[in-house]
Structure formats: structure tokens, C-alpha cells
Amino acid sequence: MRIGPESPLVLCSASPRRRELIASLEIPFVVVPTEVDETRRGGETPSVYLERIVSAKLAAGLEARELLISRSRRLAGVLVADTIVVAPDGALLGKPTSDADGRDMIARLDGTTHEVRTRFALAAGHPSASAAFAQTITTRVAFRPLTPGEIDSYAACGEGKDKAGGYAVQGRAAAFVQGIEGSYTNVVGLPLCEVVVAMRGLGWLA
């Protein structure tokens, strides 16, 4: 089904960054946040973790879509996504649980190059359907060397509290970024180029 005013995209995400990115495309969409357990399992690699969480989000999103359709809503497909930060040593950095945790994350990225991975999935079927399209996009981000004062100040400002890796590339942390290899919007939370290409391939966009 093509996305349009009478059949908007269902964005299953509570992230304001993803909402802003989709809004920039100027396509009709509705936000239906879903809740899934994002606890990492023992021995789970970052890639396996990311795939599992996105699959869980997609299942929850499709259920929410079916519920809305049962209430006489006409909706297009579902979009879900999750973003992780992988430190240079391979550790998965989630959202900081405290200022101290946020400081530790920034310190681990100080003067190094890390990876930001976003996996997104698109589906238009019923809750038991699998993804019509899923892809993981990786961007390499290089941080310049930081001073202890910069690290402390950033962790205390609160900007990175709800963000993977403890920082916002579109905010004050932009001053830490020496270079980006790959999609910038992927680091913000959704690789728009790849998402649009995928939606066109499914016939959702003209």
C-alpha cells in the first residue's frame, strides 16, 4: 500500500530524533510507540542483539497496527529501528544509566573511532508476518582527543542521557566529531537514504 494522507506510515518509535527525521521527508505518518525488553542476553554479540531487538519491535509494531486497523484506521506499512554504539574494543554501549555511566562512555570514545549501527525493518503484513525488508547500516565516527573537563561537562549537561553511546551528534557533541564515514542521519538514529530507497523498492513511495 502506498503511503498517503489516507494511509500514513506507522512509525513504531518513541524517539523524537526518528520522528523529526521522518517528518523531514514530508510524508504522512503516525507514531505508535512500542515497548520491548531491551536487556542484553549473556554472550550476545552486538549484531545478534540488534537483530533480535528489531525483530521484537517489528512484532510489537505489527500488533499495534492491526489494533488500529480494527478501529477503522487505514494504515500503510510499519517502520521500526534500533541504534547501538559499538566501542573500539567491541563493547556495546547502550543508554547511560547515570552521569557517571555517561562520562565513562564518552571517555571510552575519546580520541578513537567507533561504530554506530542502526537496523531498520519495514513490513506491511499481519502480526505473524516477517519483515518485508530489513537492513543494518554502519557508520564510523571519529572523536578527537578530549580534555577531562570536556568529558565531565558533557556528561553533566544531560544531553546524552537517553542516547546510545551517551552522546548526541546533532547537539553539543558535534564539537567532538573529527570525522564521519558513512550516513550522518544513521548516527542521529535513522539512515534516511537507505530507508527511502527501501520504501520505494516496496512501492510505498512514488
Residues that are catalytic: 82
Cβ atoms within 10 Å, residue 108: 18
Strand segments, DSSP code E, in the chain are 9-11, 29-31, 78-86, 92-93, 113-123, 133-143, 177-181
Q: How far apart are the first and last CA of the chain?
A: 11
Rg from Cα positions in the chain: 18
Quote the cell numbers at residue 49: 542483539
Helix or strand (DSSP H, E) at 18: helix 16-23
Q: Amino acid letter at 162?
A: D
Taking the C-alpha atoms of residue 203 and residue 188, their distance in angstroms, rounded to an integer, is 26
Coil, helix or strand at residue 17: helix
Taking the C-alpha atoms of residue 152 and residue 174, their distance in angstroms, rounded to an integer, is 16
Contacts of residue 7, Cβ cutoff 8 Å, sequence gap at least 6: 1, 28, 74, 75, 76
